[in-house]
Amino acid sequence: MAGAGTVEPRSARALRVLQYYYLQQGLNHEVADELARFSMLYRHQRSAEPEPLNSHHVEFVLFGTVLVNGRIWGGNYLLGNLDLFTDVPSVNRLEQVQFLSATRTVRIPRKALRSVAVRNLSVVRMVHQRLMTYVLEFEDLYGTDACKPIHRVARLLFHLMYQQGLGAKILSGALDPHVVTGPTQRDFANALGLGVSTVEKSLKELREHEILADTSNGRMNRTYRILDPAELRAIGLGATLPGTGGA
């Protein structure tokens, strides 16, 4: 079962990171401190295939790239059953997660999160807000709109970069927020419902316009260095690349 990562040593620095993370979610110091005491910083290495999520914990992704039920997500994603006031689902109903890159998370026992939530409405609000954000993000990234492939690829890359940047602010110095690692072109294609050659063409155009750095690893490339975040965002919103017609 997914979740057999490495626990980071319990230290004053780790506790400060945990407290800061919860403060960033809009909780006050008292509640953030209580959640931090129940939580641990976790490291997951890249995994070879999807596995069921751990049913007894909730994990808040700080940064990294995960594949959940065929969709690619980055930092600020929540792993685990967030319906805190119902029974844990059976193993065969759990979501499947694959860590596409080295991933850092904040892990907390589901029972502990529920215990604090019962006494603090702000925790329920935090979870609810994250779930609502997920619904909006899913529709934005994977909804069936009329965007051209290059716009969809750029939008997903920018989303992963942006979320990674948020994690980099919490764990300063841990990574370059402009480098997204993990997904292959086939991962992007499967997640977006596109052909691999279509994703390859889109990435090639982004590199030719110096929005992404060039790479020599072809379809098995797992590293995407964003050179021009503003332009990548614009393409994701539907802007046209000069001389391409946005195809």
Q: What is the pLDDT of residue 91?
A: 47
As annotated, the residues of the chain forming the CATH 1.10.10.10 domain(s) are 149-236
CATH of 149-236, one of 3.30.230.30, 1.10.10.10, 3.40.50.920, 3.50.50.60: 1.10.10.10
Nearest residue to 177 (alpha-carbon basis) of 67, 101, 43, 63: 63
Q: CA 233 to CA 230: how far, in whole Å?
A: 5
Is residue 187 within 8 A of residue 67, CB to CB? The reply is yes
Q: How confident is the model at residue 76 (pLDDT cuts 50, 70, 90)?
A: confident
What phi and psi values does residue 232 have, to the nearest 5 degrees? Answer: -60, -45
The number of residues making up the chain comes to 247
Question: Which tens digit of pLDDT belongs to each residue from 146-202?
Answer: 789 999 999 999 999 999 888 878 876 667 888 999 999 999 999 999 999 999 999
As annotated, the residues of the chain forming the CATH 2.60.120.10 domain(s) are 6-142
Nearest residue to 247 (alpha-carbon basis) of 137, 139, 153, 140: 153
| Block residue for tokens 């694959």 | 98
Nearest residue to 76 (alpha-carbon basis) of 133, 37, 156: 133
Mean residue pLDDT across the chain: 87
Is residue 227 within 8 A of residue 212, CB to CB? The reply is yes
pTM of the predicted model over 0.85: yes
Q: 51-52 and 40-44: which strand pairing?
A: unpaired
Average pLDDT (52-75) is 90
Looking at domain 6-142, its CATH architecture is Sandwich (2.60)
Q: CA 62 to CA 90: how far, in whole Å?
A: 27
